[in-house]
Chains A and B, each alone.
Chain A
Amino acid sequence: MSGHSTIHFKNPVVRWIDTRLPVISAMKVNALDFPTPKNLNYFWTFGGILTLFLGIQIVTGIVLAMHYTANVGLAFNSVEHIMRDVNYGWLLRYMHANGASFFFIAVYIHIFRGLYYGSYKAPRELLWMIGVVILLIMMATAFMGYVLPWGQMSFWGATVITNLFSAIPLVGTPIVEWLWGGFAVGNPTLNRFYSLHYLLPFVLAAVVFLHIWALHVPGNNNPSGVEVKSDKDTVPFHPYYTVKDSLAIVVFLLFYAAFVFYMPNYLGHTDNYIPANPLVTPAHIVPEWYFLPFYAILRAIPDKLGGVIAMFAAIGVLFILPWLDTSRVKSAAFRPLYRQFFWILVLVCIGLGYLGAKPAEGGYVIASRILTAYYFLHFLVILPLLGIFEKTRPLPASISESVLSKGSGGGAAAAAGAASAPENRG
């Protein structure tokens, strides 16, 4: 990232550039030769997948912006103009809309991978916290993007979410009116959301750069959670992980393409094909699926301000996670109790997502409250205590040792087994 050129390039033009601005040697050190633990599984490919999706969203978004009109009277029809009259406009729009969903699928897997393998622990606390900032920016960007087509869900979603700020004591109403640029969600709101929706992805790209920078100082965590001890533990990023990541990316794109081409509206809401109408409230106002767990937490608390605080705290708690988890062992593979609590947390989050889609009544509310309480219990009580009381399994001495003990009968047979059955080591 900084400093002087460290590599002698044969090509005179490359050398001329690199001695003045060592961007080429920086690329070589950080993207090609970068020593990467050799035992990363496919859950480590989601960083690459996410980077690609940020690119897809920015490229399709820029072209969509060339044809979109941010005006309450024209926005809905300008989106339909893209669908009908712009060359491959339907493809751009469906890629962008479904791209947001798959961006979130990838980011949630990425986050849960970090939780499972303890990737937030020293020396990667700041890397993790930057990641939480990325999640927040992603959510803000996605929310504002969903408002732009100016359908019924756009309008009413924007109304519900911006109204959350009115829960702030004393200054709540002035803040909401300031956000709206008026006394209700209207044309000024749409215009500023459009402006910010265009701006934030570039902020996101900059923060992603910091995220990758912060990753490249300590290097990758790995499934064993044991830090790299020697060169024997690593392989160069290229070609080993460029190829493995490419395979994962293409498989992920297969799922994405299935939605884009065969069920492009499946993850959306039919009501958003009805033009926004401030006089008609939809029967159920529901956010996009990726906000549903947070929506469930919001509605679980009977008090409006309390609900808003709980919803933001659900993400805020992730910021301090590195200090809540008191265990010094990173990977859940060596933490028998944590592993069970991890899976309970996964189920709780999926359960909250389910409840977020349900009407806020009867048993759904009670279930939301129980799961919300458990969510915070996991981070604020269970994790600090686990570090004290959990008896962890012995850690391998190094990544290489953990690799040798895997995929074979175990024990002394490890080395022999690896040699005699190379097909099992893929």
Chain B
Amino acid sequence: MRQSKNNIMNLSRLAAAAIAGAALTGAIAASPVLAAGEQHALKDVAFSFEGPFGTFDRGQLQRGYKVYVEVCAGCHSLDLLAFRNLSQEGGPDFTPAQVRVLAEEFPREVLDGPDAFGDMFERPGKASDHFPPPFANEAAARASNNGAYPPDFSVLAKARHGGADYIYSLLTGYDEAPAHVEMREGMAYNPYFPGGQIAMAQPLSDEVVEYTDGSPMTVEQYSKDIAAFMMWAAEPKLEERKRIGFQVMVFLVVLAGLLYFTKQKLWRDVDH
């Protein structure tokens, strides 16, 4: 009788532990299930910013910026970022002097004004300016892009399942349409895009952007670099977050250890 009660207590403790586990797994399992679409499995790139100690590769972000300016910026805006962000900590690490030049040399000027006569005017960018958009409004963007609206890049890496891996897979995933797929007018086949038909024609080709640091000038490399750059644009405080996170984890583990021994000593003389 006593023995069986003892077993019950142990069982109930086990069961109790399972509740917590179940609640946590329930929480964790729920999300990925949500938007698991009908898409192709993504290619997995080993990006430097992954993992608990991940940091951005400065050279990669600088190359990614070059790809953005020379290839993407014609259609895709970067509204939430300013040129000054390019020199902030945890980013591409351009110097403030370089940023002034980059802002001036950006392919578009910045709309400013009104001036003393009430007229708007264009002037070269400054570090404090936000990236000037390629189109005045959505209608203008659609008119120039066969009815499609090129999405803004600011948080795009966080707005797509798979993030940087998705961007890389998409950019390297253009292919001939299989015979059974009927393509709509002006669309390109890309199995990584939901529905498989994307309005953006393959934007990258080998040698289209000149790299001066010896990195290979291939579609794969360009795609990795722009994907990393977009991840930084979407999550500019990633490095600070992971650095502080490690400090917090160490603090909590030490505190938990101290509290555990305090609790053990305190409860030693209490039957409970």
Known: A261-B245, A354-B33. A333 touches B267 (CB 8 A): no
B214 within 8 A of A: no
B212 within 8 A of A: no
User: What DSSP secondary structure best describes chain B's contact surface?
Assistant: helix
The interface of chain B, by Cβ under 8 A from chain A, is: 2-3, 5-6, 8-9, 12-13, 15-16, 18-20, 22-24, 26-31, 33-35, 37, 52, 80-81, 85, 154-156, 158-161, 194, 234, 236-237, 240-242, 244-246, 248-249, 252-253, 255-256, 259-260, 262-264, 266-268, 270-272
Residues of chain A in range 350-369 having any CB-CB distance to chain B below 8 Å: 350, 353-354, 357-358
Shortest Cβ distance from residue A141 to the other chain B in the assembled complex, whole angstroms: 18
- List, sorted by A's number, 23 A–B pairs whose CB atoms are closer than 8 Å: A39-B272, A40-B272, A83-B237, A84-B236, A91-B241, A105-B27, A109-B23, A113-B19, A223-B12, A243-B263, A247-B256, A253-B252, A257-B249, A262-B242, A269-B34, A284-B35, A333-B9, A339-B12, A343-B18, A346-B19, A353-B30, A406-B6, A425-B268
B35–A269 CB distance below 8 A = yes
**Residue count of chain A within 8 Å CB distance of chain B:** 80
Known: A262-B52, A269-B35. A354 touches B29 (CB 8 A): yes
A250–B259 CB distance below 8 A = yes
Residues of chain A in range 244-279 having any CB-CB distance to chain B below 8 Å: 244, 246-247, 250-251, 253-255, 257-258, 260-262, 264-271, 273-274
B30–A273 CB distance below 8 A = no
Q: Which residue of chain A has its CB nearest to the CB of B237?
A: A90
Known: A90-B241, A270-B158. A244 touches B34 (CB 8 A): no
Q: Which residue of chain B has its CB nearest to the CB of A80?
A: B80
Roughly how many angstroms separate A265 CA and B161 CA in the complex, as a whole number? 11
The 5 lowest CB-CB distance pairs between A and B, nearest first, are A261-B245, A410-B2, A289-B30, A273-B159, A247-B259
A261–B242 CB distance below 8 A = yes
Please, which residues of chain A bring their CB within 8 A of the CB of B31? 266-269, 289
Known: A41-B13, A84-B80. A254 touches B241 (CB 8 A): no
B255–A250 CB distance below 8 A = yes
B263–A105 CB distance below 8 A = no
Q: Which residue of chain B has its CB nearest to the CB of A101?
A: B27
Please, which residues of chain A bring their CB within 8 A of the CB of B28? 266-267
Q: A171-179, A303-311, A397-405: which lies at the B interface?
A: A397-405
B161–A270 CB distance below 8 A = yes
User: What DSSP secondary structure best describes chain A's contact surface?
Assistant: helix
Residues of chain A in range 328-361 having any CB-CB distance to chain B below 8 Å: 332-333, 336, 339, 343, 346, 350, 353-354, 357-358
Q: Which of B2, B16, B270, B271 has the most CB of A within 10 A?
A: B271
Known: A90-B237, A112-B19, A269-B35. A80 touches B155 (CB 8 A): yes
Known: A239-B266, A403-B272, A405-B6. A246 touches B259 (CB 8 A): yes
A166 within 8 A of B: no
Q: Which residue of chain B has its CB nearest to the CB of A106?
A: B23
